[in-house]
A and B are shown apart, each in its own frame.
Chain A
Amino acid sequence: MSEFFAMGGYAIFLWPAYLATFLAIGVNIVLARRAHEDAKQEARRRIAIEDEGPL
């Protein structure tokens, strides 16, 4: 197992490379979801204002 993590001596280059890649994958999932949630919330707010508006 420790042999696997040593990656033939390339561990200090290989694991940071994998970490950076999967960090970007995770961050982009979060950012996309947040953008969608924010847009939905803003649309709901606008609808609420419209419904109250003419009264």
Chain B
Amino acid sequence: MNWAWFHRLGSPPHIYRIAGTLTPWFAWLAGLLIIVALYSGLVLAPPDYQQGDGFRILYVHAPSAWLAVMIYGVMASAAAIGLIWRMKIGHAVAASCAGVGAWFTVVSLVTGMLWGKPMWGTYWVWDPRLTAQLILLFLYLGYLGLRAGFDDLSRADRASAVLAIVGFINIPVIRYSVEWWNSIHQAPSVMKMARPSMPIDMLAPLLMMLLGFTLYFAAVLLVRLRAEILRRERTASWIREVLR
């Protein structure tokens, strides 16, 4: 079997070019989806029978929380690929994920507090789900801090990869916290095997937001990955060509 195509696919100049081609597609599609979802979530969707218009915070809270957790999954997988198969591109992807992930973890916590105050009656409680999400933020910050502490890139890659992989234990804890422990946080409405717990006119904006946020992350990740590749391939001759 000829693996040449596979190595070409994984080669930095190839990835740099592909990332450049894909970014605008992801970005425009994400923008379109998010704008349509904003209109349908804020205007078209009916208010909830209990939470009234307050439930519309769901349309920014759930996608942010999804990104926070999903980005960690991408980061830990990429770090594992980098560590185990010694693929540098894995480390480059992982390093590109952490900052974005930390931002959206903060957003999920802030929007959750703003939803919790009127509905539950408090901004914050030391509830299992809320605490696990806060630990996720510390994991992202620890990852970024650890990387910043090394001058040598390959050692930074290896050390931070170990942290990312060990920290993955927190992901199932976040997902199942509302089932393992009595929690004030409600069970998932969409991210489950059973039928979603809302009618289609409330569900459609949420699904569009989730897809839109995911594509947005893909676009941001690709731009960050290009920067990361340029920084790592400092002496490569192909850089001369692409920068001309």
Asked if A and B form a direct contact in the complex, defined as CB atoms under 8 angstroms apart, the reply is yes
Q: Chain A: residues with CB nearer than 8 A to chain B?
A: 4, 7-10, 13-14, 16-18, 20-21, 24-25, 27-29, 31-33, 35-36, 38-40, 42-44, 46-47
> Interface majority SS on B: helix, strand, loop or mixed?
helix
Contact-residue bracket for chain B: 35 or more
Q: With A8-B47, A10-B53 as given contacts, are A17 and B227 in contact (CB-CB < 8 Å)?
A: no
Q: Is the interface of A mostly helix, strand, loop or mixed?
A: helix
- Closest Cβ of chain B to A53, distance in Å, is 12
Residue of B nearest to A36 (CB): B227
- B57 close to chain A: CB less than 8 A: yes
Q: Which of B's residues lie within 8 Å of A, judged by CB? A: 42-43, 47, 52-54, 56-57, 60-61, 64, 99-100, 103-104, 106-107, 110-111, 114-115, 117-118, 216, 220, 223-224, 226-228, 230-231, 234, 239-240, 243
Beyond the given A17-B57, A28-B220, A39-B226, please list 15 additional residue pairs across the A-B interface where CB-CB is below 8 A: A9-B53, A9-B54, A10-B118, A13-B115, A14-B114, A17-B61, A17-B110, A20-B110, A21-B107, A21-B111, A24-B103, A28-B103, A35-B224, A36-B230, A38-B227
Task: Tell me, in angstroms, the Cα distance from A31 to B99 when the chains sit together.
Answer: 9
Most buried by B among A10, A13, A17: A17
Are A39 and B231 in touch, CB under 8 angstroms?
Answer: yes
Q: Are B56 and A47 in contact (CB under 8 A)?
A: no
Closest B residue to A27 using CB positions: B103
For residue B158, give the distance in angstroms from its CB to the closest CB of chain A.
22
A selection of 8 A-B contacts at a CB cut-off of 8 Å is: A4-B43, A14-B54, A17-B61, A24-B106, A39-B227, A39-B230, A47-B239, A47-B243
